[in-house]
Amino acid sequence: MVTPTTPIPRWRTLALLMAAAGAVKLAVLLQLHDHPLLQPHGELGTAYYVDLARWIADHGLLAITEPFFVSPLYVYFLATIFALGGGLLAARLVQIALGVAAVGLQYATARWWFGERAAAVAAVLAVLFSFYEVLILQAALDPFLVSAALFLVTRTLDSRRPVVFVATGIVLGLLVLDDRNY
């Protein structure tokens, strides 16, 4: 029996926060999915990402031989979704899933450093203030990549397993690829 002084299990707190993140992000998507300013048309950055990704999906991984002036990781992220038969909605849904995972990673990282209460506060703030996932922009991957990098760097402090160090390097490399090349 649960009494007012019985603490809620950690996994339940995390599950509730991640479910809330998913619900909030899906609600934002439902409200804004057809907003004209969020559509990839004309000379907007989103149009460049979509056009390059469609070109790669249609012509292969090495179809673009010029240097990227936008995030190469995000172009290939979209191209993968397009090649698998998905469209912009599928990309946004995958981005939302990554955003929900970012909330969990932020919770776990904050819990390691500062305890349970700080972890819950960090996760609530992440739920309420990160809505990049509904945009077709490279910034949509940033919350997940930064959260994963911080989580893995934290894990390296108490782990001697090579897989943790390799995973940290991979995520940091992906974070670099998610930046625009000038």
The C-alpha atoms of residue 155 and residue 60 are separated, in whole angstroms, by: 36
The C-alpha atoms of residue 40 and residue 63 are separated, in whole angstroms, by: 21
* Position 5 in a domain: no
Averaged pLDDT for residues 17-33: 91
* Position 182 in a domain: no
The C-alpha atoms of residue 58 and residue 161 are separated, in whole angstroms, by: 40
* Position 50 in a domain: yes
pLDDT in tens, 118-150: 999 999 999 988 788 888 988 899 999 999 999
* Position 1 in a domain: no
* Position 101 in a domain: yes
The sign of the CA dihedral 56, 57, 59, 62 is positive
Tally of structural domains, the chain: 1
Averaged confidence pLDDT in the chain: 88
pLDDT band at 158 (very low <50, low <70, confident <90, very high): confident
Averaged pLDDT for residues 40-52: 82
pLDDT in tens, 7-20: 556 788 889 999 99
* Position 35 in a domain: yes
* Position 3 in a domain: no
Give the per-residue pLDDT at 167.
Answer: 97
Give residue 105's domain range. 10-177
Averaged pLDDT for residues 35-45: 77
Is the separation of the CB atoms in 123 and 106 below 8 Å? yes
What percent of the chain has pLDDT above 70? 93
* Position 20 in a domain: yes
